[in-house]
Amino acid sequence: MEGALFIPNEEVERDDEEFDSEASAGSQGQEGPDDKAEHAADVLQDILDCMDFEAEVEIREDGERIVLDIDGADAGRAIGKKGQTLDALQFLVNKVVNRFPDGRRHVVIDSGDYRERYDRGLISMARREAKRAVQQGKVVTLQPMSARDRRVIHLSLAKFEGVQTCSEGEGMDRRIQIIPARGGRSSESSTTRRRPQRPRV
């Protein structure tokens, strides 16, 4: 299909997790101007041009993380279904820009405020389902989702009174369970993960 990007979802997830684990160490870049943001923007623009997308790239933020914004007539196509094209573009740009270990910086690809709006929707859904779990006293199992989305939900419900969360399943079928603090678990998930520890995403 013209203009499509096909990258295994598990590779994108591993890439995100790798950068997340490094982010806590902070930026190791030098003080003063850094051309890595410009390089990342040029790489992304070249990819979009090869995909025949009518879009331009702007550097929106350039701190510990580089945030690139895609704007133009094909910005919606650059987002893709549930942000999958954005994720694939982000994966590719990070691989190119950070192919050498020195001065690695995480590049986030966005379009407008898509990621913020998408995360708000995830958090709203998670809280709604958490309320349902508490009211009904039953485990609520969400649909399979990416590691990034699971992470957003785990964090959003970490301080939600009356529930805890865990992830179950493997690969593309991995999903979150929202477990009410009181009452038993459903029969289909009556094994493992009852201990209160930091959830695996």
Coil, strand, or helix at residue 163? Answer: strand
Q: Are 44 and 90 in contact (CB under 8 A)?
A: no
Query: What's the pLDDT at 201?
Result: 61
CATH number among 1.10.3720.10, 1.10.490.10, 2.70.98.40, 3.30.1370.50, domain 123-189: 3.30.1370.50
Q: What is the CA radius of gyration of the chain?
A: 19
Tell me what percent of the residues of the chain surpass a pLDDT of 70.
73
pLDDT recorded at residue 130: 97
Query: Domain limits of the chain?
Result: 9-112, 123-189
Distance CA 21, CA 5 (A): 26
Domain spanning 9-112, CATH architecture:
2-Layer Sandwich (3.30)
Considering only 5-14, 169-178, 191-200, which range has the smallest mean pLDDT? Answer: 191-200
Average pLDDT over residues 106-126: 94
| Averaged pLDDT for residues 146-156 | 93
Confidence of residue 171 (pLDDT cuts 50, 70, 90): confident
pLDDT in tens, 181-190: 864 443 333 3
pTM above 0.85, yes or no: no
Helices (H), 51-144: 75-79, 84-97, 114-136
Q: What is the residue-averaged pLDDT of the chain?
A: 81
pLDDT band at 131 (very low <50, low <70, confident <90, very high): very high
User: What are the φ/ψ torsions at residue 127 (nearest 5 degrees)?
Assistant: -70, -35
Cβ-proximal residues to 128 (8 Å cutoff; 6+ apart), any chain: none
- Pick the residue with more confidence: 49 or 172? 49
**Strand 175-180 to 56-62 pairing:** unpaired
Question: Where is 65: in which H helix or E strand?
Answer: strand 65-71
